[in-house]
Structure 1
Amino acid sequence: MNEKQTGESAGRRARLRAAIALAVFAVIAGLLILYPPDDLYLWIKALHIVAVISWMAGLLYLPRLFVYHTDAPPGSAQSETFKVMEGRLYGTIMQPAMGLAWLLGLYLAWSVYGFQGGWLHAKLAFVVLLSGVHQYYGRAVKAFAEDRNTKTGRQWRIWNEAPALLMILIVVMVVVKPF
């Protein structure tokens, strides 16, 4: 295993960078709350979009890692590297991004729409399903870490389509507002 990429020192540095990014995000959000600009809605919306993009990137990439991980023999250097990659992606990027996407999204749904509108209810239902996929992937990260994966690469390829399909439905609800 390459210590430069997967060692504890690299992990600490990755966590530090993620903590700094979250802190910057929190400072911006705090300043917006303390000193709300006239266009607060646009700032919150921009931060929400950044969080959603980060979350979706992880949701689309993680199952691809699972596909490749299924081909690595348990206990091999390659398998151990995938375990580190999957754990860092899920815990350091995806979890905070999902939390921020939910927090900012619920704020927007409440402050702008008062939780009204059929399209908004449908969007929230799809986001709940997307969160379920996220949690399913979290359980898979744990299973891979314990060398207990039971799915094939083909099955993970199919699971890779779930977040993409839900993303399309969510975007259609937000942009088109069909009902």
Structure 2
Amino acid sequence: MLDELSVIYPYAKAFHVMAVISWMAGLFYLPRLFVYHAERGQAPEPADSFIIMEQKLLRLIMNPAMIATWISGLALVLTPGIVDWSMVWPWTKAACVLGMTWFHMWCAGQRRVLLAGQGQPGRRYRMMNEVPTLLMVGIVLSVIVKF
């Protein structure tokens, strides 16, 4: 099984990069939709538009991209000779990926809170919108610099 992973490694890596790009796009955009929803979504029509956009982004793009990222990432990690677990970088990357997954789940929860009409102020969503950027910096530095 592990030998087969070595054969498909370049494809798994390419698929992983594509999945990460899709997931990150959603993680950057959904909190921005929350800002607009919280600040301008008081009238029925704008709120309906934001609700549809948030739902489709989460269900059709972000959830599948997160799952694809995890599956392809685990395939990469299980490929023999790719990860040296005695180094720090795989652990910092893993911590940042877990943080990214937590943020994804937080966004899904906030969508439900907004649906109930109890969302946070727009400023809070603006601040939270920086979380995936900080985690991305940690992931990229971990993988490229391998500290």
TM-score by length of 2: 0.90
Which deviations, in whole Å up to 9, do the C-alpha atoms of 1:16-50 show, x marking residues without a partner?
Answer: xxxxxxxxxxxxxxxxx9xx798521111000000
Q: Which residue of 1 aligns with 2:142?
A: 173
| CA-CA distance at 1:73 after TM superposition | 4.1
Q: Which residue of 1 aligns with 2:132?
A: 163
Structure (1 or 2) with the larger CA radius of gyration: 1
Q: Which residue of 2 aligns with 1:134?
A: 104
Higher RCO, Cα 8 Å, sep 6+: 2
| CA-CA distance at 1:156 after TM superposition | 0.7
Q: Which runs of 5+ in 2 are unaligned?
A: none
Q: 2:76 aligns with which of 85, 108, 116?
A: 108
What percent of counterpart residues are identical?
38
Q: Which residue of 2 aligns with 1:28?
A: none
> Does 1:99 find its partner at 2:72?
no
Q: Which residue of 1 aligns with 2:56?
A: 88
Paired residues, number:
143
| CA-CA distance at 1:124 after TM superposition | 0.6
Contact 1:109-1:115 at 8 Å conserved across structures: no
| CA-CA distance at 1:103 after TM superposition | 0.8
> Does 1:61 find its partner at 2:29?
yes
Q: 1:38 and 1:101 mapped to 2: Cα distance? A: 18
> Does 1:49 find its partner at 2:11?
no
- Give the aligned residue type for 1:156: Y
TM-score by length of 1: 0.74
Q: Which runs of 5+ in 1 are unaligned?
A: 1-32
Contact 1:67-1:156 at 8 Å conserved across structures: yes
RMSD between superposed Cα atoms in Å: 2.0
Q: 1:50 and 1:146 mapped to 2: Cα distance? A: 34
| CA-CA distance at 1:161 after TM superposition | 0.2
